[in-house]
């Protein structure tokens, strides 16, 4: 399901990043009392009254002469295009400015629901100053204090009321997978090779694919939905606003996927950005397959593939669970094996283990490697149960969660992998104190 999306827009220094962090409940944006500090959109997910939604933090919109302001304006317009509801943020300190009115003009053209909020209303005396903001033409302004969180609930109530009503969608039981990676690793060529027809433009120019494109197809009796995404470029090298938009869409594609194919260019080897791109999928808890493309262009001997695999394991230590496949979109080498791998990883993502079987494995693990002692206090593990899938998530009940060191947690995860087939999927272990 695609989450409804809220975009926070406004001129610089009205507190957009502070409000973004408040909504997400964590410090995600860099907050600094300098206009224009947020130059890149930041994407996150939140929940209010049981309803999940996506949030986009934008740079301020201003038509001044500073060189990056037009870029910030453009990326905010892109975020507006992506949003279902817009939170138009202003500041009571400055009153209604010319820049606010310019922003309002852009929002009129957007023809999207707009919730107007006046930030920095930190005391009751300032509330009487919010009425000037009726002149912007978006109805009642909501007083808000990002610093103290006052008024945020009322704003989010209005945002939820403005989100489009959920349509009765047909249940889609296809396996959804996306291809992610740096530009020019051959993702579009892989899409075409997998489909056997030219559904997506293929070009050697980086960033040709500007949008996430869904294609449903069947093979060997299994239905797949393939999401092709634009390349994710290193943040410092993302100059073109449409590419910034592509990064946002790629992150949303990952959220919609059951399995993510992390595509690497065999000619160029592993780059630092490859690890960051894969990190997006790993942190999202998605099933992962590492796909080494353009393998036909590499000079090989008997050890080439094994050496490359060892290099991947060394560079992607946090993805030691992900299977690796070496393919060529050009010659279609090993591509016929990909659908079966995707099915296997998807099944592993949804695998459930009975508690009785889990605890047999747990007791065997503790017998082989007893629990550690920290500051004279021994960790005691009483039992384990599985509480979720996608990814498989297990709760271990212990005497003190602080005693479960990450090294012993990793040992338990490895024992689960040895006992059950969780290839391609991360495993989460949560420690809780037994009451």
**Is position 235 annotated in a ligand binding site?**
no
**Is position 355 annotated in a ligand binding site?**
no
**Is position 11 annotated in a ligand binding site?**
yes
**Is position 153 annotated in a ligand binding site?**
no
Distance between CA atoms of 176 and 342, rounded to whole angstroms?
9
* Biggest CA-to-CA distance, the chain: 77
**Is position 184 annotated in a ligand binding site?**
yes
Distance between CA atoms of 241 and 171, rounded to whole angstroms?
35
**Is position 296 annotated in a ligand binding site?**
yes
**Is position 232 annotated in a ligand binding site?**
yes
**Is position 59 annotated in a ligand binding site?**
yes
Give the Å distances, CA to CA, from 190 to 175, 194, 222, 283, 324: 17, 6, 19, 24, 15
* Structure-block tokens of residue 185: 């690793």
Give the Å distances, CA to CA, from 292 to 10, 23, 415: 42, 38, 28
**Is position 204 annotated in a ligand binding site?**
no
Do 95 and 50 meet the contact criterion of CB atoms below 8 Å apart?
no
**Is position 111 annotated in a ligand binding site?**
no
**Is position 323 annotated in a ligand binding site?**
no
Please list the alpha-helical segments (H only) found in 94-240: 98-110, 152-162, 187-195
**Is position 31 annotated in a ligand binding site?**
no
Neighbours of 112 (CB within 10 A): 14
CB neighbour list of residue 153: distance below 8 Å, 6 or more residues apart: none
* Interaxial angle between packed helices 152-162 and 16-24, expressed in degrees from 0 to 180 and rounded to the nearest 10: 80
**Is position 231 annotated in a ligand binding site?**
yes
**Is position 187 annotated in a ligand binding site?**
yes
**Is position 15 annotated in a ligand binding site?**
yes
What is the length of the chain? Answer: 435
**Is position 182 annotated in a ligand binding site?**
yes
**Is position 279 annotated in a ligand binding site?**
no
Instruction: Please choose, from the candidates 65, 120, 70, the residue with its C-alpha nearest in 3D space to the C-alpha of residue 90.
Output: 120
Distance between CA atoms of 231 and 184, rounded to whole angstroms?
7
Instruction: Please choose, from the candidates 83, 207, 190, the residue with its C-alpha nearest in 3D space to the C-alpha of residue 199.
Output: 190
Do 288 and 319 meet the contact criterion of CB atoms below 8 Å apart?
yes
**Is position 183 annotated in a ligand binding site?**
yes
**Is position 159 annotated in a ligand binding site?**
no
Distance between CA atoms of 219 and 430, rounded to whole angstroms?
37
**Is position 257 annotated in a ligand binding site?**
no
SS3 percent helix, strand, coil of the chain, rounded to 5, is 40, 25, 40
**Is position 390 annotated in a ligand binding site?**
no
**Is position 325 annotated in a ligand binding site?**
no
Strand, helix or coil at 310?
A: helix
The CA-based angle 168-172-174, given to 5 degrees, is 170
**Is position 13 annotated in a ligand binding site?**
yes
**Is position 12 annotated in a ligand binding site?**
yes
**Is position 258 annotated in a ligand binding site?**
no
**Is position 146 annotated in a ligand binding site?**
no
**Is position 185 annotated in a ligand binding site?**
yes
**Is position 189 annotated in a ligand binding site?**
no
Give the Å distances, CA to CA, from 19 to 58, 204, 375: 11, 41, 41
* Binding-site residues for GTP: 10-17, 57-61, 119-122, 181-188, 228-232, 293-296
* Binding-site residues: 10-17, 57-61, 119-122, 181-188, 228-232, 293-296
């Amino acid at each position: 399901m695609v989450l409804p999306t809220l975009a926070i827009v406004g001129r610089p220094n009205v507190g957009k990043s502070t409000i973004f962090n408040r909504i997400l409940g964590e410090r995600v944006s860099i907050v600094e009392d300098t206009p224009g500090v947020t130059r890149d959109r930041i994407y996150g997910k939140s929940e209010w009254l049981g309803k999940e939604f996506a949030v986009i933090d934008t740079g301020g919109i201003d038509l001044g002469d500073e060189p990056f302001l037009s870029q910030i304006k453009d990326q905010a317009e892109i975020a507006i295009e992506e949003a279902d509801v817009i939170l138009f943020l202003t500041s009571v300190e400055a009153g209604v400015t010319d820049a606010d009115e310019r922003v309002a003009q852009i929002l009129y053209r957007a023809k999207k629901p707009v919730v107007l909020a006046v930030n920095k209303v930190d005391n009751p005396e300032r509330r009487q100053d919010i009425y000037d903001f009726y002149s912007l033409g978006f109805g009642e302004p909501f007083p808000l204090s990002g610093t103290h969180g006052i008024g945020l609930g009322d704003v989010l109530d209005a945002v939820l009321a403005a989100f489009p009503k959920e349509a009765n969608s047909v249940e889609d039981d296809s396996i959804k997978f996306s291809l992610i990676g740096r530009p020019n690793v051959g993702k579009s060529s892989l899409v075409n090779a997998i489909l056997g027809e030219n559904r997506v433009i293929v070009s050697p120019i980086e960033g040709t694919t500007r949008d996430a494109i869904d294609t449903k197809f069947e093979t060997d009796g299994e239905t797949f939905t393939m999401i092709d995404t634009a390349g994710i470029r290193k943040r410092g090298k993302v100059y073109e606003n449409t590419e910034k938009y592509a990064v946002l869409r790629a992150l949303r594609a990952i959220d919609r996927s059951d399995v993510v194919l992390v595509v690497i260019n065999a000619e160029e080897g592993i780059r630092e950005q490859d690890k960051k791109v894969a990190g997006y999928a790993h942190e999202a808890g998605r099933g992962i397959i590492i796909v080494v493309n353009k393998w036909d262009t590499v000079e090989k001997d008997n050890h080439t593939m094994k050496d490359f695999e060892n290099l991947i394991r060394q560079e992607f230590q946090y993805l030691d669970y992900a299977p690796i496949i070496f393919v060529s979109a050009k010659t279609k080498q090993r591509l016929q094996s990909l659908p079966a791998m995707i099915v296997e990883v998807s099944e592993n993502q949804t695998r459930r283990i009975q508690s009785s079987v889990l605890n047999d494995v747990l007791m065997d693990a503790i017998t082989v490697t007893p629990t550690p002692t920290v500051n004279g206090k021994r960790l005691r593990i009483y039992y384990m149960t599985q509480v979720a899938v996608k990814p498989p998530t297990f709760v271990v009940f212990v005497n003190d969660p602080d005693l479960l060191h990450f090294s012993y947690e990793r040992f338990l995860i490895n024992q689960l992998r040895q006992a059950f087939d969780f290839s391609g999927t991360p495993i989460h272990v949560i420690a809780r104190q037994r009451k």
